[in-house]
């Protein structure tokens, strides 16, 4: 089965998004990032497997070396499953992402989300940015253009709808993500026919 991996730091809304995508009611439970095994769910009506890989990036309340080993596990998982992974969905908090990225951009440091984006691309996995919590964003287009820019995608963001998907998971508004995933699904089907 084609697989979709869902990645992102804690509190961006991964669980909420998973619930909307899969229809399963589930809670991650306990501390963020503590679940190290990926959780698999189906994405009806297509038979994708959605794999929740929690806690990439900063996890509050989790020790640093534990964070590192979780990160290593995630990297290993994605590398091992790269051939089957249709898309890597990086979930961002639309309200906070640009500030977090800018704060972590220095000569020695690449922000986790940007690093992860590059890592997926290197493995040939199309990255999709699910920009969540859009209900809290006033200057929608401006914000999405800023996010595009931080990931090296030339604005306007609308030309990157296969990569940038503004969503409000909490209200079930995930059409843009469905559409982005569909583009990659169709592309994968075409590749299979070659």
Site for ligand GDP in 124-143 (CB under 6 A): 132-133, 135-136
Q: Name which of 132 and 145 has its Cβ closer to ligand GDP.
A: 132
Q: Is 8 helix (H, G, I), strand (E, B) or coil?
A: strand
Q: How far, in whole angstroms, is CA 149 from its chain's centroid?
A: 17
Choosing from 3, 7, 10, 165, the residue that interacts with ligand GDP (CB under 6 A) is 10
Round to whole Å and give the CA distance between 108 and 165.
29
Helix locations, 23-161, DSSP H: 64-81, 97-103, 112-122, 140-150
Q: How far apart are CA 9 and CA 33, in angstroms?
A: 9
Is residue 15 close enough to count as binding ligand GDP by CB under 6 A? Answer: yes
User: Is 145 a binder of ligand GDP (CB under 6 A)?
Assistant: no
Work out whether 57 is an interface residue with ligand GDP (CB under 6 A): no
Q: Does 11 bind ligand GDP (CB under 6 A)?
A: yes
**Interface with ligand GDP (CB under 6 A):** 8, 10-16, 28, 32, 132-133, 135-136, 168-170
């Amino acid at each position: 089965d084609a697989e979709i991996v869902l990645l992102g730091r804690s509190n961006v809304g991964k669980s909420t998004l998973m619930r909307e995508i899969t229809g399963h009611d589930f809670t991650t439970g306990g501390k963020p990032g503590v679940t190290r095994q990926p959780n698999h769910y189906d994405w009806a009506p297509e038979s994708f497997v959605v794999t929740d890989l929690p806690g990439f990036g900063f996890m509050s309340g989790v020790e640093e070396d534990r964070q590192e080993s979780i990160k290593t596990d995630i990297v290993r998982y994605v590398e091992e499953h790269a051939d089957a992974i249709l898309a890597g969905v990086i979930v961002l908090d639309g309200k906070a992402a640009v500030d977090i990225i800018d704060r972590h951009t220095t000569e020695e440091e690449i922000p986790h989300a940007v690093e992860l984006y590059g890592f997926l691309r290197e493995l040939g996995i199309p990255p999709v940015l699910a920009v969540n919590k859009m209900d809290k964003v006033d200057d929608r287009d401006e914000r999405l253009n800023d996010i595009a820019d931080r990931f090296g995608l030339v604005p306007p963001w609308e030309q990157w709808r296969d990569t940038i998907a503004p969503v409000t998971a909490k209200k079930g508004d995930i059409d843009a993500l469905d559409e982005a995933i569909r583009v990659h699904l169709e592309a994968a089907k075409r590749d299979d026919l070659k």
